[in-house]
Structure 1
Amino acid sequence: MTFFGYTIGEWAQAVSIIVVGVSAGSWLFKKIALDPLRSDIQTLSDTINRQLKLHERSLADLSQHLKTHDNELGSHSVRITRLEDHVGIKGEDNHED
């Protein structure tokens, strides 16, 4: 039995050769392009995660410093108000022009 002048055996051979060629091409593409790309993406992801953790630590430290400075500022404000009360200064309301 023939189809377009080729027997079923010849068609099976042709299809087999095409399938093997596509499989080999796919495997080569994976090894040459995709595997190195995946490796680079994983390395980049690890680097980004490390940097993110460093930035989170820096932000936490900065936040702690900001809280400390806010507390000091509040303390200074209270002390200045007490000093103004002690010497009889009413703050910015009694400036002489």
Structure 2
Amino acid sequence: MYAINFGLVLLAVTTSQHWSPPHYVMGYTFTEWVALLTIATIFVACVTWLIRVVIVSPLNAQISILSSKIDAMNTDRAKETQAMNAIIDEHGRMLRDHADKIIRHEEDIKTLFKQRGDRNN
């Protein structure tokens, strides 16, 4: 059936090498390699699916919920910022009014002291 080159076999035996036919790779036939590759591929696919179902999908759901909560928080913060800016503007106006009143009162006090001084002389 097989034509074996006895010279190669004799060379392999004398140099302590194991001779294998050319359709064998590391002692396995091509069909065995394909079967091993198929098993490995199925195993990797199952592990990938399991990781996706157990870890990635719940994390994506939680990240989505967190993202919506952060958006709501940003909206609330923007409303609070507007309210605080309005309060700060009002306080600024009130401080300017008080500063004007203080200036007016100082002038009134100076005027009263001048009038009092004029009466005493």
Q: Mean Cα displacement is larger for which, 45-54 or 32-41?
A: 45-54
Q: Which residue of 1 aligns with 2:97?
A: 75
| Alignment TM-score, normalising by the size of structure 2 | 0.67
Unaligned runs of 5+ in 1: 90-97
Q: Which residue of 1 aligns with 2:37?
A: 15
| Alignment TM-score, normalising by the size of structure 1 | 0.82
What's the Cα RMSD here?
Answer: 1.4
Following TM superposition, where does structure 1 have runs of at least 4 consecutive aligned residues deviating by more than 4 angstroms? none
Unaligned runs of 5+ in 2: 1-22, 112-121
User: Which of residues 11, 24, 28 is equivalent to 1:6?
Assistant: 28
d(CA) in 1 for partners of 2:109 and 2:33?
108
Q: Which residue of 1 aligns with 2:66?
A: 44
d(CA) in 2 for partners of 1:4 and 1:60?
74
What is the one-letter code of the residue matched to 2:43? G
User: Which one has a bigger Cα radius of gyration?
Assistant: 2
The superposition leaves residues 7-54 of structure 1 with CA deviations (integer Å, 9 ceiling, x where unpaired) of 101110110110111011101101110111111111112111211221
What is the one-letter code of the residue matched to 1:64? A
Larger RCO, structure (CA 8 Å, separation 6 or more): 1
Give the paired residue count: 89
